[in-house]
Chains A and B, each alone.
Chain A
Amino acid sequence: MTSSSTADRDAITASLFDIVAEEAMVDRSAIRPEALLEELGVKSADFVMILMAVEEKFGVYLSVDEELAEAKTVRDLTDIVVTRIQEHRARAGA
């Protein structure tokens, strides 16, 4: 992985933390990569709101698929979404 794509990943991840805080109405300071979504009170309806915001900001449509449904921690969630956003950008750029 190049340093630019790592930087890119970090930037998207930071912006996803903001989205999770805003859409799931969680205190931004409580959002750490290892935090459990369940403990943060992120429920199925919050997932939908998060995916809507991701679509608005990054232009990528993500349905609640197997991987997303299995996400347990904030990191699980952001890793999947960041990968999808990067795949989307690679396709769009290709």
Chain B
Amino acid sequence: MRRVAVTGVGAVSACGLGAEALWRATLEGRSGVREVLFPAMRRQQVTRAAKLPEGLLASLMEGSKPRFQDPVSVLALAAAREAVEQAGLGPDDFGSRCAVVWGTGFGGAPTLNAGYHQFISDPGGRFDPMTVPKVMANAPASWIGMAYGATGPTYCISTACASATQAIGLGTQLIRGGLADRCIVGGAESPLVDAQFQAWESLHVMSATECRPFSAGRDGMMLGEGAGVVVLESAEAARERGAHPLAEVAGYGATSDAADLLRPDVAGAAACMRQALADAGIEPSAIGYVNAHGTGTVANDMTEAEAIRSAFGPASERLLVSSTKPVHGHALGAAGALEFIVTLFALREQTAPPTLNFTAADPRVGIEPVPHRPRIFSAEAALTNSFAFGGVNASLVLTQA
């Protein structure tokens, strides 16, 4: 089976522009959570989210085609630019052997939101004729393909919060199976618009206080936004062009609970991690760090902790686990890509970033994450989890290149 190397990463998030900015913020515990107010919401109860820094989206939109591109595509392209540049790919490295596999939960939510506002407030007025091509979930994938001339297959995965992790997993499988030599993979999400924020608020899973994963007193998640891109290549393709792999994607697990639409399931999540470990051909003890899905909701964190104990067995006692969502927020369809990048840096620097806002252990969780400050470890592999509404589970194992 062909090995899969990571040769470039790129990110746009509440921590700013760049994968390095994302990693530094998670490592140093600088949260990108800020006040987010929507005048159209008459009764806004949750007023904070991990929003892009002021002015960043506007500056990225300047170099874009705003009449054709929703912000979600602009974020995807900005992250892709960074990843492709780091990978050192040239014009001849794309073509029919390069695929794009992209994750998003809601696609062009800002354009859809604006369209509904327009339709209701001025039904006879001029409607944005580009609404459909801006909103469609595959728009970011297609813009990336067009930007680089990737003429291999384009796939778009929309499995809510597991989208980007599954995109990275599917890209890995395409390369392993010889269907592509190179894949641009990742995910993007722009959920911070009023009606969508209202929808999240109505589900009562967002915290009106702080996101404190695995902690006693946790009361919900914090939304985020952004894009993460990963350049995957077969190890031979990377070697042939003299590229330096940052890490390898060694294992992918994907399972479905087929149980409850909203409530996570221990068995499904545990089976997913086991599958990723088996796929990588490594023992649980080889994993030094787990970047948890760790949303900060009661249900996720309890389920995920139990699933980790089940999948890792005795090795779970020495395992470092953290959730970096209090820093970059829960970026939904982009979450898996942002967290993959954090996990990659953690593995390369052998340092687990901390879980912010942790106050005290919850005895029912039974796992104490790395709190407050980073912690060093020594291991050849790390794992990252994404669990989605709909009962969709995805885990990736990274190993040192």
Q: Which residues of A contact B (CB under 8 A)?
A: 44-45, 47-48, 51-52, 55, 59, 61-66, 68-69
Complex Cα distance A48/B206, Å? 12
Residue B220, interface by CB 8 Å: yes
Contact of B218 among A45, A48, A65 (CB under 8 A): A65
Complex Cα distance A66/B364, Å? 10
- Chain A residues near B46 (CB-CB < 8 A): 61
* Beyond A63-B207, A66-B219, 5 additional pairs, beta carbon < 8 A: A45-B261, A61-B204, A65-B219, A66-B216, A68-B298
A63:B205 contact, CB within 8 angstroms:
yes
- Chain B residues near A68 (CB-CB < 8 A): 298
Residue B263, interface by CB 8 Å: yes
Give me 10 A-to-B residue pairs in the complex whose CB atoms sit less than 8 angstroms apart, sorted by A's number. Answer: A47-B204, A61-B45, A61-B46, A61-B208, A63-B205, A63-B208, A65-B219, A65-B298, A66-B217, A66-B218
Write out, one digit per residue, whether chain B residues 354-371 have a CB within 8 A of any chain A CB (1) or not (0): 000000001000000000
A76 CB, min distance to chain B CBs, angstroms:
14
Contact of A52 among B204, B217, B260, B362 (CB under 8 A): B204
Complex Cα distance A59/B42, Å? 12
Contact of A48 among B204, B298, B362 (CB under 8 A): B204
A52:B45 contact, CB within 8 angstroms:
no
Complex Cα distance A59/B45, Å? 9
A81 CB, min distance to chain B CBs, angstroms:
12
Residue B299, interface by CB 8 Å: yes
- Chain A residues near B220 (CB-CB < 8 A): 63-65
In this complex, what residue of B is CB-closest to A61? B45
B135 CB, min distance to chain A CBs, angstroms:
26
Complex Cα distance A91/B208, Å? 15
B369 CB, min distance to chain A CBs, angstroms:
16
- Chain A residues near B146 (CB-CB < 8 A): none
B299:A64 contact, CB within 8 angstroms:
yes
Complex Cα distance A68/B207, Å? 13
Complex Cα distance A51/B206, Å? 13
**Chain A CB within 10 Å — which of B46, B203, B261, B263 has the most?**
B203
Complex Cα distance A48/B203, Å? 6
- Chain B residues near A44 (CB-CB < 8 A): 260, 262-263, 299
In residues 201-237 of chain B, which contact A (Cβ within 8 Å)? 201-208, 216-220
Complex Cα distance A51/B263, Å? 17
Complex Cα distance A51/B45, Å? 13
- Chain B residues near A47 (CB-CB < 8 A): 204
Q: Known: A44-B262, A45-B262. Contact between A64 and B45, CB under 8 A? A: no
**Chain A CB within 10 Å — which of B46, B201, B219, B263 has the most?**
B219
Contact of B206 among A45, A63, A66, A69 (CB under 8 A): A63
A62 CB, min distance to chain B CBs, angstroms:
7
Complex Cα distance A63/B299, Å? 12
